Amino acid sequence: GYELSGGRTTEMWYDEIQKYRFNNPGFSSGTGHFTQVVWVGSQEMGVAKAVSKNGAHYAVARYYPAGNVIGQFPENVKP
């Protein structure tokens, strides 16, 4: 079956880099996973997953300190 590991989940989120505009830094719902994964100020990350009864996979991550702070993208999301 399909295995959604923490590493694979992080890889999928990082792939949002393709949509991120470094020349116009900021938050976007299409790149929010990527920007949080690479956020310079975040030092800890925890990932959990769950599988529903119908087989849908869910992943959630928590970061400390949290990132994606408006006005702080240029210094925290580097090319």
Give the start-to-end residue ranges of the domains of the chain. Answer: 6-64
Convert the pLDDT of each residue in 56-77 to its tens digit: 889 999 999 999 999 999 999 9
Global pTM value: 0.86
Domain 6-64, architecture per CATH: 3-Layer(aba) Sandwich (3.40)
Convert the pLDDT of each residue in 16-51 to its tens digit: 999 999 999 999 999 999 999 999 999 999 988 898
Q: Which residues contact 34 (CB under 8 A, 6 or more apart)?
A: 13, 14, 15, 16, 17, 19, 20
